[in-house]
Amino acid sequence: MNKDAQKKAPFADALEEYCRQRMVPFHTPGHKLGAGAPVREQILFGKALRQDLGLMYALDDLFQPEGPLREAMELAADAYGAGRTFFSVNGTTACIEAMILAVCGPGDTVLIPREAHRSVLSGLILSGAVPAYMESRYAEREEVSLGPDPASLQAAIAAHKDARAVLFTYPTYDGLAGQLTEMVRIAHQYGLIVLVDEAHGAHLAFHEELPPDALACGADCVAQSTHKLTGSLTQTSMLHCRRGFPYTDRVAAAMALVQSTSPHYWFLASLDLARQQMALEGRQRETQALSLARQARKQLNALPGISCFGREMMRYEAVGNLDETKLTIDFSGLGLMGREAERLLRDARIEVELTAGHHVLALVTFGDSDKSIQALLDGCRKIAGMHQVVERKDTPEPPLPQPQVVMAPREAWYAEKETISRSLCAGRICAETITFYPPGIPVVAAGEVLTGDVLAYIDQKLAAGYVTNGAADSSLDTIQVVRKG
């Protein structure tokens, strides 16, 4: 990394300079730098409306960058050790869709983990590729998926010798990092292109005590949610191609296909500035985040009835490392499910990332402080004081049911559909993607069989109060299936 070059923020500088010129706008957006915006919008956003710019060729073009935006993306590639980096204003969803579109076509087989995000299924629908699932390991005590291990990958390759690519989720939502270096080695040995959904790993490259990032593990193409754990605005992400990746130009074309033609320049400038911050201050800031997370984990484990797993998770063969800035806080010792704990924490003005089983997930970043960590601890301490320690009930979070793929997702998407009662769905082919969100992992996707295990999982989630996402009928009283005959 060229530290001197990383001091620059070329696109943010260009945007700032353009705004200083106070040009008279005869271009979109229609509110004309806030002058015509609704009154409440003016109150809510204030002077920021004067910087509400997009598609300004005076600055640069996201899809054919030649000036400061091109330089900003080149600096991002340098910071992350990529051959080429693309900015996304449509989140990591667009990045995942683009990298699948770039390397796969109709009928191509892609090996994916059971924990694949719903955007992976969207990429398969767009490309016409067909998923083949690697078997994932599951930690019953902790109620978290561990992802596939090298043996899972080897078995999937043996069963699908014609596979074109493999996609890994690294790390998991809970910060569990699989044995990616070894699995990349195996995949490349068999000629597979390695794609990685590294939505929760944009910070990994900047500290040696975090798991190695996916590019360092040898991946070919990596999608990162820059906004999730570093400093860019929500909805902004990056897609990195390794040096020498032969499909880089196809990735560029695919990114133009799945992104808005009116990219917001706030978003692009925030990516430029987030990269600058991590390149210059990343190690220092991640040291701070790790210290806070480790203090929190130690104190959480001292509370009666509460636990928070740490590096002991590496006893599982599938786990190669752990991002310690993720706090999976388990309340089973107090007889509480995660949904109950989430509500109690909200009463204490603590908002967590997600819930599952008996736990909630709290993310610690360099945006945290002693004060915010203390607020989390105080909230958990209050819950511990309200409940007696109990022996854990035998009501564990079940692992996601194993999919049965019988039709390409694209084929199921375009097939004739009918809507029937959930009670009559057993054995039918699902024509929609059903997800409980977060974490956005489909319970069943278009083209998969609605098995008894799938329907039982749905029943349990609904009974526990979880809200579905993606289905036409949000109550799931009915489900769309492929029409017979």
Six token digits for residue 426? 């057993």
How far apart CA 184 and CA 161 sit, in angstroms, is 16
pTM summary value = 0.94
Q: Is residue 471 helix, strand or coil? A: coil
Least confident of 13-27, 304-318, 339-353, 411-425: 13-27
* Per-residue pLDDT at 212 exceeds 70: yes
The domain boundary, picked from 279, 297, 315, lies at: 279
State whether 185 and 202 are in the same domain: yes
Q: Is residue 336 helix, strand or coil? A: coil
The domain boundary, picked from 251, 279, 307, lies at: 279
How far apart CA 256 and CA 260 sit, in angstroms, is 8
Residue 470 lies in a domain: yes
State whether 354 and 234 are in the same domain: no
Domain count, the chain: 3
Angle at 259 (CA atoms; ends 256, 263), nearest 5 degrees: 105
CATH number of the domain to which 292 belongs: 3.90.1150.150
Residue 477 lies in a domain: yes
Question: How far are the Cα atoms of 123, 204, 329 from residue 308, in angstroms, in the given order?
Answer: 35, 21, 5
Residue 469: predicted pLDDT: 86
pLDDT 10s digits, 70-123: 999 999 999 999 999 999 999 999 999 999 999 999 999 999 999 999 999 999
Residue 395 lies in a domain: no
State whether 188 and 119 are in the same domain: yes
The domain boundary, picked from 353, 386, 419, lies at: 386
Mean pLDDT of 342-358: 96
* Per-residue pLDDT at 394 exceeds 70: no
State whether 378 and 445 are in the same domain: no
State whether 205 and 343 are in the same domain: no
pLDDT 10s digits, 230-288: 999 999 999 999 999 999 999 999 999 999 988 999 999 999 999 999 999 999 999 99
Output the average pLDDT for the chain.
Answer: 94
* Per-residue pLDDT at 12 exceeds 90: yes
* Per-residue pLDDT at 207 exceeds 70: yes
What is the secondary structure of 185-206 as a DSSP string? HHHHHTT-EEEEE-TT-TTGGG
Residue 399 lies in a domain: no
Mean pLDDT of 360-385: 97
State whether 356 and 249 are in the same domain: no
* Per-residue pLDDT at 331 exceeds 90: yes
* Percent of the chain surpassing pLDDT 70: 99
Contact 188, 225 (CB under 8 A): no
Residue 395: predicted pLDDT: 64
How far apart CA 164 and CA 67 sit, in angstroms, is 36
Nearest to 355 by CA among 381, 332, 374, 329: 329
Angle at 228 (CA atoms; ends 14, 132), nearest 5 degrees: 115
pLDDT 10s digits, 161-181: 999 999 999 999 999 999 999
Count other Cβ atoms within 10 Å, centred on residue 196.
27
State whether 37 and 158 are in the same domain: yes
State whether 107 and 185 are in the same domain: yes
Residue 393: predicted pLDDT: 66
* Per-residue pLDDT at 228 exceeds 70: yes
CATH number of the domain to which 437 belongs: 3.90.100.10
In DSSP terms, 112 is beta-bridged to: 133
Domain housing 199: 5-279
What is the secondary structure of 38-86 as a DSSP string? -HHHHHHHGGGGGG--BS-TTT--TTS--SHHHHHHHHHHHHHT-SEEE
Q: If pLDDT is split at 50, 70 and 90, which confidence band does 148 have?
A: very high
State whether 51 and 23 are in the same domain: yes
Nearest to 4 by CA among 243, 279, 206: 279
Residue 397: predicted pLDDT: 79
State whether 312 and 272 are in the same domain: no
